[in-house]
């Protein structure tokens, strides 16, 4: 809905009444120069960060989505308008409200996830509303943020941190990797927003693997967090199976070229390289002997470490393809 805003009084037609005034600011024209521009987007961003003050009239002009507050989302809307991605401010959706029903729900998270996966075509306005972390693209992370908001883990979508930026300084760095490592070890606490930003692989928990992903990103081994695989899921089918163990073994033996993301997923012991020990560990996980790749399991015949099962006699035992917990224990 189009809106006209008063600066210092002026003439405004309200329900057929003419009110005296001096000037009128159009929606998005925060500096009053007659057009919405990147200068206006910059002013809004500065205000949202607490760097400047705006007059009440400017605040009205700056609230592009009409949610009663001025945020960086309003600045992004103007930037998209200036770039020609949207043609007007008429059909703007509130942040996170992808289906435009006036509220943020699990349906919006689903639509964002479908848009990120290429399963649904989103309108320019929907793309803006779905990009809750403001990185200029709609990803599975945006869907996770919306879902977290819906269940009450986070209270607002306004100041969400970007994926990997745990300390909120605007970039993913070794500092963020260190914070994740400390959190995973139980040494520090993270806010709900930080926990979201730290869960790089999107498995719902923050682990040392997330820290390793960031470290790999910082040194340039991976170019983004877009195609990250879950630990152990080397073929990216969403589950860890004996096929992943086979792929890890082939990669370790030089029989198969693994992508940087696959190398990360295959390195389940986190030693920085893919070896047969990783393949064995994946098999042990598939057999149900461990619940995660961080576990150490004690059974009647020995103890499983990160890379091998040691029998009572100290002889390494290597599970074969198709090994189950039961036939291991029968040996």
> Looking at the chain, how many residues does it have?
331
Per-residue pLDDT, 298: 44
Question: Rounded mean pLDDT of 176-184?
Answer: 97
Question: Rounded mean pLDDT of 136-162?
Answer: 95
Question: Rounded mean pLDDT of 70-76?
Answer: 96
Question: If you search the block for the tokens 């963020």, which residue do you land on?
Answer: 176
Please check whether residue 74 is in contact with residue 64, taking contact to mean a CB–CB distance below 8 angstroms.
yes
Please check whether residue 122 is in contact with residue 134, taking contact to mean a CB–CB distance below 8 angstroms.
no
Please check whether residue 27 is in contact with residue 89, taking contact to mean a CB–CB distance below 8 angstroms.
yes
Per-residue pLDDT, 159: 80
Please check whether residue 104 is in contact with residue 97, taking contact to mean a CB–CB distance below 8 angstroms.
yes
Would the pLDDT of 82 be above 60? yes
pLDDT tier at 297 (50, 70, 90 boundaries)? low
Least confident of 1-5, 60-64, 112-116: 1-5
Using a cut of 0.85, tell me whether the model's pTM lies above it. no
Q: Would you state the structure tokens that stand for residue 149, as one six-digit string?
A: 């908001």
Contacts 24+ apart (CB under 8 A), 114-123: 116/140, 116/142, 116/143, 122/98
In Å, how far from its chain's centre is CA 157? 13
Question: If you search the block for the tokens 């033996």, which residue do you land on?
Answer: 253
Per-residue pLDDT, 24: 76
């Amino acid at each position: 809905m189009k809106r006209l805003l008063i600066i210092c009084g002026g003439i405004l037609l309200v329900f057929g009444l003419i009110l005296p005034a001096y000037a009128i600011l159009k929606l998005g024209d925060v500096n009053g120069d007659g057009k919405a521009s990147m200068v206006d987007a910059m002013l809004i961003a500065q205000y949202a960060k607490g760097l400047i003050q705006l007059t009440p009239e400017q605040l009205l002009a700056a609230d592009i989505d009409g949610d009663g507050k001025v945020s960086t989302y309003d600045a992004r809307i103007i930037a998209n308008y200036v770039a020609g991605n949207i043609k007007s401010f008429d059909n703007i959706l509130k942040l996170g409200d992808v289906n435009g029903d006036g509220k943020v729900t699990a349906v919006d998270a689903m639509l964002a996830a479908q848009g990120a996966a290429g399963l649904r075509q989103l309108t320019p306005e929907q793309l803006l509303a779905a990009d809750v972390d403001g990185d200029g693209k709609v990803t599975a992370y945006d869907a996770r943020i919306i879902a977290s908001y819906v269940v009450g883990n986070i209270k607002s979508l306004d100041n969400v941190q970007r994926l990997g930026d745990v300390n909120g300084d605007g970039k993913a760095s070794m500092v963020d990797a260190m914070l994740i490592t400390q959190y995973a070890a139980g040494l520090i606490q993270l806010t709900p927003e930080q926990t979201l930003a730290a869960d790089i692989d999107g498995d719902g928990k923050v682990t040392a693997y997330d820290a390793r992903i960031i470290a790999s990103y910082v040194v340039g081994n991976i170019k983004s967090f877009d195609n990250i695989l879950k630990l152990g899921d080397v073929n990216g089918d969403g589950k860890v199976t004996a096929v992943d163990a086979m792929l890890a073994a082939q990669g370790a033996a030089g029989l198969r070229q693994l992508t940087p993301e696959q190398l990360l997923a295959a390195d389940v012991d986190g030693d920085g390289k893919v070896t047969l020990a990783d393949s064995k560990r994946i098999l042990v996980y598939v057999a149900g002997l461990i619940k995660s790749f961080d576990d150490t399991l004690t059974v009647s015949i020995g103890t499983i470490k990160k890379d091998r099962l040691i029998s009572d006699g100290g002889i390494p035992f290597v599970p074969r393809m198709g090994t189950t917990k039961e036939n291991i224990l029968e040996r």
